[in-house]
């Protein structure tokens, strides 16, 4: 018996990622695998501080940002051989500036003016910003559950990495908040605009990394001048940032944004400061205090709890309603 047009429409609804909704992942195992793969992106970004301090030449943060974005973006353009069309030229420029260019520039300013703990705690506020922007841009209902766990996650990160003697700098705080807000808006707009038909996450990542790198390039020339001399350690560090922390991480990240709820994806950003703190403790040979362990556990619980919303209607029920 042939399928009815209504039933075929339902199947398309289940398969299609859509600009606002989530791409459906078949089975709980597939959803967990997708979340885990997406989480690799912020986890890899958590290695940036250790790589920068241990391997890279000091005083060239913008050069590091360019190396992390532009070569990988151009490589993805070469591999995918897909360029933006129509409105996607300016959309890619906006997303690249928000997700890559502005984020790297502002967070480097914050890192220069603030202790790492303060800068990391400010970045942990991003899931709350994503949840609020999803209401304004995507017209999603307010998720008290995810906003609450976002606050809990930021508190947990603060307990892990915010020292008692942390100093505050007004410009640094504004830069840290602006950097977190820029990436939060970039995440929401990436979900809102989706991606053109037939364009994969690799091409989308290539467009944004290239656009973000081109935003950073003149800033690098203006403020840092000539690139630094590179030794073997520096080459290794830049390769790590450009590959694992660059185009590989961003392909996984944009794939996840396209298929997962945007607020749930935003919660995964908590992994970045947690991984940075964990690597720092391992490198320094220091044990976490009880308070830090409690904060680490709280942040992980918040991250996991934020992947679902008990008040959200299950997908299966939505499909059954369409079939009727």
For residue 23, pLDDT beyond 70:
no
Closest CA relative to residue 130, chosen from 263, 250, 21: 263
Q: Write the burial class of residue 298 (CB in 10 Å: 0-12 exposed, 13-18 middle, 19+ buried).
A: buried
**Minimum mean pLDDT range among 99-113, 163-177, 180-194, 252-266:** 163-177
pLDDT at residue 278, rounded to an integer? 86
What rounded mean pLDDT belongs to the chain?
83
In a domain, 129, yes or no: yes
| 282 in any annotated domain | yes
Q: Classify residue 143: in a domain, yes or no.
A: yes
List pLDDT tens digits, range 278-322: 887 887 676 788 988 999 999 999 999 988 877 665 433 333 333
Span 215-229, pLDDT tens digits: 999 999 999 999 999
Q: Three-class SS string for 268-323?
A: HHHHHHHHHHHHHHHHHCCCCCHHHHHHHHHHHHHHHHCCCCCCCCCHHHHHHHHH
Residue 157 lies in a domain: yes
pLDDT digits (tens, 9 = 90+) for 64-106: 999 999 999 999 999 999 999 999 999 999 999 999 999 888 8
Residue 148, in any domain of the structure: yes
Q: Is residue 276 part of a domain?
A: yes
> Could you tell me the pLDDT band of residue 12, with boundaries at 50, 70 and 90?
very low
pLDDT tier at 18 (50, 70, 90 boundaries)?
Answer: very low
Share of the chain above pLDDT 70, in %: 84
291 touches 316 (CB < 8 A): no
Kindly report whether the global pTM for this prediction surpasses the value 0.85: no
Total domain count for the chain? 1
Alpha helices in the chain (DSSP H): 5-15, 27-45, 48-55, 61-80, 88-96, 103-113, 116-123, 126-137, 144-161, 170-193, 201-224, 232-242, 249-259, 262-267, 271-284, 290-305, 315-323
The better pLDDT of the pair 20, 179 is held by 179
Q: Which domain holds residue 269?
A: 34-308
For residue 133, give the 3-state DSSP assignment: helix
Three-state DSSP state, 105:
helix
Average pLDDT over residues 6-22: 40
In a domain, 2, yes or no: no
Q: Is residue 13 part of a domain?
A: no
- The pLDDT, as a whole number, for residue 316 is 36
């Amino acid at each position: 018996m042939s399928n009815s047009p209504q039933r075929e429409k339902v199947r398309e609804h289940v398969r299609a990622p859509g600009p606002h909704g989530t791409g459906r992942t078949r089975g709980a195992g597939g959803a967990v695998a997708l979340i885990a793969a997406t989480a690799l992106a912020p986890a890899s970004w958590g290695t940036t501080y250790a790589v920068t301090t241990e391997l890279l030449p000091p005083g060239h943060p913008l050069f590091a940002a360019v190396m992390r974005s532009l070569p990988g973006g151009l490589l993805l353009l070469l591999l995918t051989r897909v360029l933006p069309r129509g409105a996607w030229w300016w959309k890619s420029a906006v997303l690249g500036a928000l997700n890559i260019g502005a984020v790297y520039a502002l967070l480097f300013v914050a890192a220069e003016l603030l202790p790492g703990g303060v800068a990391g705690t400010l970045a942990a506020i991003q899931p709350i910003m994503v949840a609020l922007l999803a209401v304004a841009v995507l017209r999603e209902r307010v998720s008290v559950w995810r906003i609450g766990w976002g606050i809990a996650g930021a508190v947990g990160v603060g307990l892990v990495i915010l020292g008692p003697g942390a100093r505050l700098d007004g410009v640094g705080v504004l830069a840290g908040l602006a950097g977190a807000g820029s990436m939060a808006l970039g995440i929401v707009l990436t979900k809102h605009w989706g991606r053109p038909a037939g364009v994969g996450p690799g091409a989308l990542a290539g467009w944004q990394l290239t656009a973000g790198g081109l935003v950073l390039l003149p800033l690098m020339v203006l403020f840092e001048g000539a690139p630094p001399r590179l030794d073997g350690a520096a080459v290794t560090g830049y390769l790590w940032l450009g590959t694992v922390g660059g185009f590989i991480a961003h392909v996984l990240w944009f794939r996840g944004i396209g298929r997962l709820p945007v607020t749930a994806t935003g919660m995964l950003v908590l992994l970045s400061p947690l991984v940075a703190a964990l690597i720092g403790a391992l490198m320094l040979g220091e044990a976490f205090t009880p308070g830090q362990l409690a904060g680490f556990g709280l942040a992980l619980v918040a991250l996991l709890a934020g992947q679902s919303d008990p008040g959200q209607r299950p997908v299966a029920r939505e499909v059954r309603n369409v079939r009727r």
